[in-house]
Amino acid sequence: MPPRKRPPANSKFQVRKPADPGVHLEPFLNYLEAECGMALNTVSAYRSDIVQFLDWYRTQKPMPLSEVDLKFLSGYLQHLNKRKLAATTVSRHLVSIKLFFRYLVLEGILAESVADLLNSPKLWKYLPKVLSPEKVNELLMAPCREDRYPLRDRAILTMMYATGCRVTEIVSLPVNAVKLHEGYARCVGKGNKERMVSLNPVAVAAVEAYLQHERPMLTKRNQSEQALFLNRSGKQLSRIMVWNIVKKNAARVGCSKEVSPHTLRHSFATHMMAGGAEIRALQELLGHANIRTTQIYTHVDHSRLKAVHQMYHPRG
């Protein structure tokens, strides 16, 4: 729930009825960032969802927000379902709408939020797709001389698998946060929470090679840039660029088209569980706020469950 409290039920405020509800979008996003402390990527996702809702809203019969009812919002959910969106995506859109309407109540624009009456769709628990350790090794070695910056690409792939970091955490990683001699890095995750992640020898060697041979060339155009991984203009690498790097090298080693940067994060977590890592330690390494998010990897690692069964079952 947002940090501010909604006006009391007996407060005397006038419900305002602006011509276009779009005027509330930017203040709402500023509220999410400044008062709720949400990350920029999260705020960007809410922006996209609310913009889509407002675009659909304008195509319907004109009405003030105060007259929006449950039937109207249910119609928007039906519209999303007709677009063949996944249940998780529809659920995320619904969360965005609920937050938007709650904000309007907090600001005194609406008397109550009808969006809170909507139920979220039931979600299936999908197990994340992971790569085998052998396939991961092939992927890490995939960057070659044909690439413009193969050492950078290899360093990115090895860092993602060694640390389990998210894409945003990798691209925003500054040089001074990586301690190669000590074998760790400080990354900033969701909610601006900082955590320590370990670097294995393979990742250390890959980053050292990149720092020695390629990064000095990239910094010639922009020597003030502090990000570890740079593009050819000497600026911080974008998330899309990292996505393309993973996709290109995954195709080289025959991986599925569904492989993404997050696949390396899932693979890191699953392989850690298979190696005997404690779930609490894995939670800290991944930067999960809730351990229930981490528990999904106990279901992915079938080999470990089988070993435990064979060890402890009387007829194992």
282 in any annotated domain: yes
CATH number, position 188: 1.10.443.10
Residue 122 has what pLDDT? 64
| CA-derived radius of gyration, the chain | 24
Domain enclosing residue 89, as ranges = 21-117
**Tally of structural domains, the chain:** 2
265 assigned to active site: yes
Same domain, 158 and 211: yes
Is the whole-model pTM more than 0.75?
Answer: no
Same domain, 66 and 166: no
Which candidate in 6, 98, 154, 166 is catalytic? 166
Q: Which residue has the higher pLDDT, 66 or 307?
A: 66
184 in any annotated domain: yes
Kindly state the helix (H) or strand (E) to which residue 197 belongs, with its residue range.
Answer: strand 194-198
215 assigned to active site: no
288 assigned to active site: yes
16 in any annotated domain: no
* C-alpha span between 99 and 268 (Å, rounded): 33
5 in any annotated domain: no
Same domain, 172 and 106: no
Q: Is the pLDDT of residue 209 over 90?
A: yes
CATH number, position 38: 1.10.150.130
Answer whether 220's CB lies under 8 Å from 234's CB: yes
pLDDT tens track for 263-306: 999 999 989 888 888 888 888 889 888 888 887 777 666 656 66
pLDDT tens track for 58-93: 888 778 888 888 889 999 989 998 898 877 888 899
Q: Is the pLDDT of residue 44 over 70?
A: yes
232 assigned to active site: no
Same domain, 99 and 198: no
14 in any annotated domain: no
Residue 240: exposure state from Cβ atoms within 10 A (0-12, 13-18, ≥19): exposed
166 assigned to active site: yes
221 assigned to active site: no
